[in-house]
Amino acid sequence: MSLLAIEDLSVRYGRTEALRAVSLALDAGTSLGLVGESGSGKTTLALALLGLLPKAGRVTRGRVLIDGVDLLTLAPEALRRRRWVDLAYVPQGAMNALDPVSDLRHQFEATQRAHRDGNAKARAAELFARVGLDESWLRRFPHEFSGGMRQRATIALAMLFEPRLLVADEPTTGLDVLVQRQVLDLLREARRERRMAMLFVSHDIAIVAELCERMAVLYAGELVEIGATADVLDSPAHPYTMGLRRAVPDIRFPDRTTLSIDGAPPSLAPPPKACAFAPRCPFAQPRCHAEPVSARVLPDGRHVACHRASEAAALWVEAQAPETWRRAG
C-alpha cells in the first residue's frame, strides 16, 4: 500500500471548481513533482492534503489516505497529532510564514511541545546545523533572516520529527539562483538520508526534473499526465505536457526556438464538460470538445487524460514543429 493515496479529490471555492477528481499515489521514500501553470490547482491540492484550505475552500469529493487512513474524515485531534509527525510542510511564502513576534527557538519549542517531550533547543541547534545555520540565529527574529536563511529555517523546522512525507510548495520561488541551488541540495540530501517521501509543487519543470523521480502535470484543475519524470519529459503523452516541454529551453537543442501555447486556461466556474485543454489543443478533434476524458494507462505505466493518448508518439513528433502550435484552437 502506498504511503500517500489521493483518490478522486475535488475542491470548490464558492462556484469555482478549483480541483476535479484528482487521483495520485506516492510510495514511502519516493518523490513526486506537481507542475502546472498558476491557477492550475497545484497549491490547492497541497493545502487540501494538509487540511489548510482557507475558509472559502471546501473538499466536495474524494479521500486523502496516509497509510490507508483518510485525513479528511479524521477527528481534529487525531489529525492534529499526525501533523508534522507524519507529514510536514515547507510553505511557499516563507517570507511571513514564521511568527514575526517570536524568535526561532520559541517557534521550535512550541512545535515540540505540541507533540512530545524532548529537548527542543538541542534538536533545533542540530537541525540548524544541518541546514547550514549557526546556532546563535535561534535567538533572532524572522525579520532578521534573509529570504534564503528563512527558507532553510522552515526546512529545519519541517525536519523536527523526521516526517515520513514532506510537502514543499514552491520553496524556491523568489530566491536568487545561488540560494535556490542550496535549498534544493538540502531537500535532496534530507530525502536521501531519511528515506523521506516528498511532494514537490512547482511551476518550474527544470527543478522538478532534477529533484523528483515521478512527475504529475495539472491543467485547469485536472490531472492530465502522471508518470516517471524521464518518460514525461522525453516523450510527453498529453498535448499540454508537449506544449510545456516545448516552452522550456533544452540544453540539448540550444538553437531550438521555444514556443508558447496561445489562449488561456478556461474559467472553472462552471468547469468545462469535456477536455479542458481542447480549445487550445492543436490536435483537438470534435470528440475532444464533446466527450469528457478519462485517464488511459500507457504501456510504460503512465496515466494520460487524452482521447488520442494512443497516438502520443506521433503527436509528439508533430508537436516539435513550431507551425503546429500556430494553427491551434
Residue 13 binds other proteins (CB under 8 A): no
Segment lying near other proteins (by CB under 8 A), choices 109-117, 207-215, 236-244, 252-260? 109-117
Is residue 140 a contact partner of residue 103, using CB atoms and an 8 Å limit? Answer: yes
Segment lying near other proteins (by CB under 8 A), choices 3-11, 111-119, 192-200, 284-292? 111-119
* Residue 65 or 161 with smaller CB distance to other proteins: 161
Whole-number Å distance between alpha carbons of 181 and 151: 12
Is residue 171 a contact partner of residue 151, using CB atoms and an 8 Å limit? Answer: yes
> How many residues of this chain interact with other proteins, rule: CB under 8 A?
32
Considering only 98, 217, 261, 306, the residue that binds other proteins (CB under 8 A) is 98
* Residue 100 or 299 with smaller CB distance to other proteins: 100
Residue 116 binds other proteins (CB under 8 A): no
Q: Minimum CB separation from other proteins for residue 238, in Å?
A: 32
Q: Minimum CB separation from other proteins for residue 318, in Å?
A: 44
Whole-number Å distance between alpha carbons of 221 and 45: 9
Residue 286 binds other proteins (CB under 8 A): no
Considering only 61, 73, 114, 263, the residue that binds other proteins (CB under 8 A) is 114
* Residue 68 or 100 with smaller CB distance to other proteins: 100
Beta bridge partners of 89: 167
Contact pattern from residue 38 through residue 77 relative to other proteins, giving x for each residue in contact according to CB under 8 A and a dash for the rest: ------------xxx-xxx---------------------
Q: Minimum CB separation from other proteins for residue 91, in Å?
A: 5
Residue 162 binds other proteins (CB under 8 A): no
Residue 81 binds other proteins (CB under 8 A): yes
Considering only 21, 59, 65, 85, the residue that binds other proteins (CB under 8 A) is 85
The single-letter code of the amino acid at 307 is H
* Residue 112 or 241 with smaller CB distance to other proteins: 112
Whole-number Å distance between alpha carbons of 186 and 179: 11
Residue 21 binds other proteins (CB under 8 A): no
Binding site for other proteins (CB under 8 A): 50-52, 54-56, 80-85, 88-89, 91, 93, 96-102, 110-111, 114-115, 141, 143-144, 154, 157
